[in-house]
Amino acid sequence: MVFPNLFLLIIFTSFLSLHNAPFWAAADNLSLPASLAGKLRDDPQTISLASTDYGRIIQENPIGVFFPVTGNDIAFFIWVMYAGPIRLDIAARGQGHSVRGQALARNGVVMNMTSLANSRQGGGRIVVKTTSSLGPYADVGGEQLWIDVLHETMRKGFSPVSWTDYLHITVGGTLSNAGISGQTFRFGPQISNVYELDVVTGKGESLTCSPTTNPELFYAVLGGLGQFGVITRARIALAPTPTRVKWVRMLYTNFSAFTSDQELLISNKGNEKSNGLNFVEGLLLLQLHTPDNSSFYPLADQPKIASLVSQYGIVYVLEVVKYYDQHSASSVDQELNELLGELKFEEGLKFVRDASYEQFLDRVHTDEVALRSLGLWDVPHPWLNLFIPKSRIADFELGVFRGIIQKRNITSGVFLVYPMLKNKWDERTSAVIPDEDMFYTAGILFSSGFKDWETFEGHNKDILKFCAEAGIKVKQYLPHYETQQDWMNHFGRKWPTFLRRKAMFDPKKLLSPGQKIFSTSK
């Protein structure tokens, strides 16, 4: 809908009265309709909370934080910024678990999405439908946490199929990126498992979109880094939920054996039609302090593992999971043995845990609780996430894992590496991946303190420099760039589409300024 200039004032006034805002009220220096002004806060504590994120590297103060109660509040607020005399940038903020200021708005307004969910555990904003022509699905508020989606859907015997490693982040936040984890090879990222969205565009229009209704908006928003609209509802695909998992780690000293086994598992046996694995990831083991009672590894095996780590510098851990329930409990062990039978991990170094499905999915929260108790959760997070073409993963290992991480004696942090398949990603979305049928993700999640994060930023820069010089065409996931040229390189052939969609859905470039795509720092 476009508002012709002549009628703008009339429509604007009607919109105000529709929202019970018949007069302008003062909210500090802003003249906002009263119904909005009451939901805008600018006290120092609120500003301070909205001025940084999980990364704790970037600090940008907004002039206010908007606390919407309904989707209409969001639409009205954006529309006022779009059509009215005041123009302020607006950043939807889910959990603020970005690490480079992506949900910040310097001198703009942060929209606190979680105020839509008056109470946790759904608050009526997670509605499960177990039968439909689409199959089972959940209609979920964009502000909802995935952990709450898990609980609410499991109560009905279903759950989403594609996850992130950490579930205390919002549906809108992960769908604005992609949402990846060990299930991605099989079901695609979270953005491949959405049937429909409700979105408020940068013009303040509330639109429902799907592959058949407003498809341009639908695909723009998925992986769209918050640039095209605010997601207020997502229809998420569900499947019957498992209840338990067999959770396996296998250790490798040879990177080539490790990656060829990962590739074997995701191509031949991980096919969704077969009774294959449900989760395939991998991580680097750079130290093991023995004895470690909290470790995945039995105490009796720890000295051997520790000596392998000191001998090889890096031990690669292939992590896989097979789901099961009461019907498949008697056959799961045999199926697992068949699936893992040909693998070339170090003899005897396969470890199996039995866990509930929820325990497994919410595993990072267990680490969160432990880190919080040590004061190590709310610290800077100089993290770098990359997608690497399969053809160059061996070069990446030599240059980055061996060349930078091992040579510089970096042993603390979490370092993930696992493959995915391009055909599980929809080319029409805004998400960007390498141009090869199979590619890897590397999560380089350095552990830093308040004083030394810049050292780790230095390592990150060196990693990117190494890739550029070696001609490894990596794509950043959860990207962060300093210049628009970098963004153009990132999007590559998708850049013209990205620009066109921006002009269609957020022509005044109001939304998610913290991504620094249209207001770069250089």
Toward ligand FAD, which CB reaches closer, 164 or 241? 164
The distance of closest approach from Cβ of residue 264 to ligand FAD in the complex, given in angstroms and rounded to an integer, is 23
- Which residues sit opposite 92 in a β-bridge? 111
430 is a site residue for ligand FAD (CB under 6 A):
no
- Alpha-carbon distance of 365 to 46, in angstroms, equals 25
100 is a site residue for ligand FAD (CB under 6 A):
no
68 is a site residue for ligand FAD (CB under 6 A):
no
- Which residues sit opposite 447 in a β-bridge? none
- Backbone φ, ψ for residue 281 (5° rounding): -135, -170
Supply the DSSP symbol for 398. Answer: I
Query: Inter-axis angle of helices 484-491 and 495-505, to 10 degrees?
Result: 110
The distance of closest approach from Cβ of residue 92 to ligand FAD in the complex, given in angstroms and rounded to an integer, is 4
Give the CA diameter of the chain: 79
* Helix (H/G/I), strand (E/B), else coil: 100: coil
Q: Taking the CB of residue 60, how many other CB atoms lie within 10 A of it?
A: 18
Per CB under 6 A, contacts with ligand FAD among 466-485 are 478
Q: Using CB under 6 A, which of 58, 80, 81, 92 touches ligand FAD?
A: 92
147 is a site residue for ligand FAD (CB under 6 A):
no
| Residue of 60, 281, 319, 397 with catalytic role | 281
433 is a site residue for ligand FAD (CB under 6 A):
no
| Residue of 42, 139, 165, 292 with catalytic role | 165
Toward ligand FAD, which CB reaches closer, 21 or 420? 420
DSSP-derived secondary structure for 290-357: SS-TTSSS-GGGHHHHHHHHHHHS-EEEEEEEEEE-TTTTTTHHHHHHHHHTT--PPTT-EEEEEEEH
281 is catalytic: yes
Q: Using CB under 6 A, which of 71, 122, 142, 479 touches ligand FAD?
A: 142
Per CB under 6 A, contacts with ligand FAD among 227-266 are 230-231
Amino acid identity for residue 353 in this structure: R
Stretch that binds ligand FAD, among 79-87, 98-106, 294-302, 420-428 (CB under 6 A): 98-106
Stretch that binds ligand FAD, among 19-27, 174-182, 282-290, 388-396 (CB under 6 A): 174-182
For 102-154, give the secondary structure using H, E and C. CCCCCCCEEEEHHHHCCCCCCCCCEEEECCCCCCCEEEEECCCEHHHHHHHHH
170 is a site residue for ligand FAD (CB under 6 A):
yes
Toward ligand FAD, which CB reaches closer, 94 or 399? 94
Contact 65, 96 (CB under 8 A): no
Q: Using CB under 6 A, which of 146, 166, 185, 453 touches ligand FAD?
A: 166
Give me the active site residues, please: 97, 165, 281
Binding site for ligand FAD (CB under 6 A): 53-54, 91-98, 102-103, 113, 142, 164-166, 169-170, 172-174, 176-181, 225-226, 230-231, 364, 478, 512, 514-515
